[in-house]
A and B are shown apart, each in its own frame.
Chain A
Amino acid sequence: MTEIREMAAADLFDVAIIGGGVVGCAVARRFTLEGARTVLLERAPDILAGASKGNSALLHTGFDAPTGSLELACVRDGYAEYREICGRLGLSVLETGAAVVAWTDAEVAKLEGIVAQAHANGVDEVRAIDADELLAREPALSPAAKAAVLVPGEHVIDPWSTPLAYIRQAVENGAVLLRNAGVTAAGFDGAHWRLATTAGEVRAAAVVNCAGLWGDRVATLLLGQSAYAIHPRKGQFVVFDKAAAGLLRTTILPVPTERTKGVVVARTIYGNVLVGPTAEEQDDRERATTDSETLHQLIGQAGRIVPGLADMPVTAVYAGLRPATERKEYRIASDPDRRVIDVGGIRSTGLTAALGIARHVHGLYQAFGTAHRPIADPVWPVVPNLAEHRPRDWEAEGSGEIVCHCELVTGREIAAALTGPVPAGDWGGLKRRTRAGMGRCQGFYCTARLARLTEGRLAEPLAVGPAHHGP
């Protein structure tokens, strides 16, 4: 790490990207592939420490995005590029489709408009289905469902391996990833930026702000003001046991309201079923707490949608923060004079749209007048497969010891996640790279072994020290 830091300090980068969420990782990949010397600055010990750590993991078609919006364009482009490249990066798609289900007559009345909007957005295969067709497709769904809109292309992806694959492709093609590098001050001399970070100074000819929950603060550091203010919106989720996966094929979406897309019941690519998110405004940009009462409500809601979920054991709970602004749309703006592109307010569609946003941002950057030569034959790293519907490492011959029994994570998967070009920086990063400790026992069986295997490798160790054996 020291070597990289020295190099980063000595070098002048073409572009510095601030923020290692899914958008920052995708932008770093795009700029690297386009031939720019790229550095990504992340304040936390690992990527995905903010908004990108907790989402509903859906690959959106854009059927419900505002027609004609930048968000729609980025979602559509991102969707297409994801499908094109995912196989080469070792990523996959769990093809679930989605159904926007109406539970009341008032909601039934809105379905026609949803279909019309989807068609206007170019998502042509979207169609209305009646309760019989819906229940034939989803027999475990509550028979109280009245009708639905089927969105055949709305699928489920791996929310953590996806950005990891993007940043790995960037790094393995020459980008520099600096973690524990929060930006504390910034100065522009008319041609170059000097960014003071907690990991030293970084110089770059252009800056892209992908700071998510800190987007307005970083924009103010760079430009003296921000066009938007971030109002964190918390979403809590409950993840059910893998036994629940048999209950559901299609992602179940509610008819959206003005404020939120509402609570989703969906399979995860890891073989579970999740319900969430809530939408709770808060000021704190870091604390994403779960609370007992809300989690009970979510479980109740899940049980009303899919009655079999009511008795299903809970495996995990989590909460994420969305970097909402005062407006719904993406807040992407370019300042060619100061050579800054600000990417703000990317909320629930960010996971899908990231690749499209990256292309859009690169398009804006071209107006700065700096030309690079794209990498002719880039490296395509393959990230480890965590998707349950494809063969995992434990199924391979000679894959050795299993460390996490609930998620069937092997010792060599742990070892691989702790080494390589983008090793796990903290415990959360290791979980997101391997699934270790994320299963039904939540570490009852594997904590001890993992503490030993990760000793000296993580920013904050699992164990605080040796046991002092007393009487």
Chain B
Amino acid sequence: MAPERIDLAVIGGGPAGLAAAIAARAAGVERVVVLEREAEAGGIPRHCGHPPFGWAEFRRILTGPTYARRIAARASASGVDIRCNHTVVQLGPAGELACRNAEGAVTLAAKRVVLATGARETPRSALLATGDRPLGVLNTGALQSLVYLEGLVPFRRPVIVGTELVSYSAILTARRAGIRPVAMIDAGPGPIARWPCAVFPRLLGIPVHYGAEVADIRGRPRVEAVDVRCGDGSRHTLACDGVLFTGGFVPAAELVRQSPLALDPLAGGPVVDQYGRCTDPAYFAAGNLLRPVETAGWSYREGTAVGRLAALDLQGRLPAPDAECTLEIAAGDGLKYALPQRIVLPWRGADGLPGLQLRVRRAITGLLTILAGNRQLYQRRVSVRPERRLIVPLDGLDLPDRAGRLQVGFQG
């Protein structure tokens, strides 16, 4: 059967994907299709049953599910064809997508594709955690979809591991569902998420232990106890019936990993230029597939930008990628990643991604420097912690005019 021809296919119907589709329609792209593998569009906010979502998009504070419904409705109203229960199984060259739906196999030939498959938390297995493998060990995503989509709980007295933003979201979910966490632990010296999140568990009477990690998980068939090793070497047993591993987000990049598109091992998503364009120029990417991890609002804005850029590209208005005029960006000392990974010259101002997005591996204070060869383009003293947003505007930097390499990193 001949593939169905469309202008823009968006893979993933979360905030970034829906925003990209809406923006492309607004920019005049005719046939825009969102391929969503779940039964409903909306992405992760569908099962974050608490505020705050939607301020930037709707000037209202919404819960996740309401926000998810609103953005999906906005997409449908703007003429986006949302196809749920559609799984993309392979990214082919030049936008040829192998998909399947409930009826069978489908091939789509899209002139442009926006990848927006999002991110997920690191499961216990990939954390290489020690212990038994009983029931009751899960990630926040699984907890929230159980509570908000099915009205069920996997445990009543879990230990929560992690102090990222999502860890506090997990506490909100737990509280709503009648789950009483016995403790919250983090291997680091302090909370990863900002105040006032960090005081919140204490207000609810949940003990918080920093410098503490899971040394053993015990129980069969369900969790019965967790041994916690503290910074001073002491070991404590916490009786509990579950372990919630929160955060440690990784891009859901499996389609990219099994395609010819280049993958950035640092950010974990596809290599993109300042237009969100991948190494096969038929493909763009937006949202948390690009890097772990940003808010729904950030992903929505990024999706809007990339959707508009894909539309411009369809009209022939983006500079063609060319190895002869590409700056490769190298994330150096102290950095977990730098995004985008390349800049196509000439730099035409910030009509693409808003700047260089950086994250650090561990808390650091030092001189953040950008070098082109020996020439220093940027230097600023910064003090930053892991999982905090760090943006360097590219506008105003005196970028080289020829192919080369930008070295970004901390000095001293």
Contact = CB atoms under 8 A, between A and B. Distances in A.
Interface of A: 241-243, 286-292, 295-296, 299, 311, 313-318, 394-402, 405-406, 408, 426-427, 440-445, 447-449, 451-452, 459-460, 462-471
A277 B152 CA distance: 37
Interface string B97-127: 0001011110000000000000011011110
Given A445-B145, A447-B138, 14 more contacts: A242-B254, A243-B254, A287-B220, A289-B216, A292-B130, A299-B128, A406-B254, A442-B124, A443-B123, A445-B141, A448-B47, A463-B154, A464-B241, A465-B153
A448 B265 contact: no
A153 to B, nearest CB: 30
A292 B131 CA distance: 9
A291 B127 CA distance: 11
B103 A397 contact: yes
Contact of B177 (A451, A460, A467): A467
Interface in B256-295: 257-258, 265
A290 B130 contact: yes
Contacts of B150: 448-449, 451-452, 463
B412 interface: no
Contacts of B254: 241-243, 406, 440
Interface string B169-187: 0000001111100000000
A366 B44 CA distance: 62
A442 B149 CA distance: 18
Given A442-B123, A444-B141, A426 B221 contact: yes
Nearest to A439: B254
What does DSSP make chain A's interface, helix, strand, loop or mixed?
Answer: loop
A358 to B, nearest CB: 30
9 contacts: A243-B254, A290-B129, A290-B131, A402-B87, A402-B100, A445-B141, A448-B145, A462-B154, A468-B178
B151 interface: yes
A402 B221 contact: no
B102 A400 contact: yes
Interface of B: 37-39, 47, 85, 87, 89, 100, 102-105, 120-121, 123-126, 128-133, 135, 138-139, 141-142, 145-147, 149-156, 175-179, 216, 220-222, 241, 250, 252, 254, 257-258, 265
A395 B178 CA distance: 41
A54 B178 CA distance: 36
B87 A408 contact: yes
Nearest to A238: B128
Contacts of B102: 398-401
A58 B110 CA distance: 42
A287 B132 CA distance: 7
Contacts of A287: 132, 220
Contacts of A441: 120, 123, 141, 252
B146 A463 contact: yes
Nearest to B142: A447
A452 B145 CA distance: 11
A471 B175 contact: yes
A317 B128 contact: yes
A39 B305 CA distance: 66
A9 to B, nearest CB: 27
A242 B179 CA distance: 36
A405 B128 contact: no
Nearest to A427: B135
Nearest to A317: B125
B146 A469 contact: no
A313 B126 contact: yes
Contacts of B151: 466-467, 469
B142 A444 contact: yes
A329 to B, nearest CB: 31
A401 B152 contact: no
A74 B38 CA distance: 48
A463 B39 CA distance: 21
B141 to A, nearest CB: 4
Nearest to A243: B257
B250 A313 contact: yes
Contacts of B141: 441, 444-445
Contacts of A427: 135, 221
B369 to A, nearest CB: 27
A48 to B, nearest CB: 15
A444 B121 contact: yes
Contacts of A406: 254
Contacts of A317: 125, 128
A289 B155 CA distance: 21
Contact of A466 (B87, B121, B153, B221): B153
Given A398-B103, A441-B123, A463-B153, A290 B128 contact: yes
Nearest to A467: B177
Contacts of B85: 401-402
B156 A464 contact: yes
A313 B268 CA distance: 10
B149 A448 contact: yes
A470 B49 CA distance: 12
B155 A314 contact: no
Contacts of A452: 150, 152
A464 B126 CA distance: 25
A444 B153 CA distance: 14
Nearest to A397: B104
B201 to A, nearest CB: 16
A408 B88 CA distance: 11
A463 B152 contact: yes
A447 B47 CA distance: 13
A464 B146 contact: no
A459 B221 contact: yes
Contacts of A443: 123, 138-139, 142
B39 A401 contact: yes
Contacts of B129: 290, 292
A289 B156 CA distance: 24
Contacts of B220: 286-287
A471 B131 CA distance: 35
Interface centre among A445, A448, A451 (most CB of B within 10 A): A448
A467 B120 contact: no
A288 B131 CA distance: 8
B120 A464 contact: no
A28 B129 CA distance: 38
Contacts of B125: 314-317, 442
Nearest to A299: B128
A436 to B, nearest CB: 13
Contacts of B153: 463-467
A234 B170 CA distance: 35
A304 B137 CA distance: 31
A395 B105 contact: yes
Contacts of B149: 448-449
- The 4 A-B residue pairs with the shortest CB-CB distance, nearest first, are A468-B178, A442-B123, A463-B152, A467-B177
B123 A291 contact: no
Contacts of A460: 135, 221-222
Among B128, B178, B241, B257, find the residue whose CB has the most chain A CB atoms closer than 10 A: B128
Contacts of B155: 464
Contacts of A296: 128
Given A241-B254, A464-B241, A466-B153, A451 B146 contact: yes
A243 B125 CA distance: 17
Given A292-B128, A395-B100, A447 B176 contact: no
A242 B253 CA distance: 12
A445 to B, nearest CB: 7
A465 B179 CA distance: 11
B356 to A, nearest CB: 24
A470 B39 contact: no
Contacts of B257: 241, 243
Nearest to A315: B125
Contacts of B128: 290, 292, 295-296, 299, 314, 317
Contacts of A459: 221
Nearest to B252: A441
A287 B130 CA distance: 12
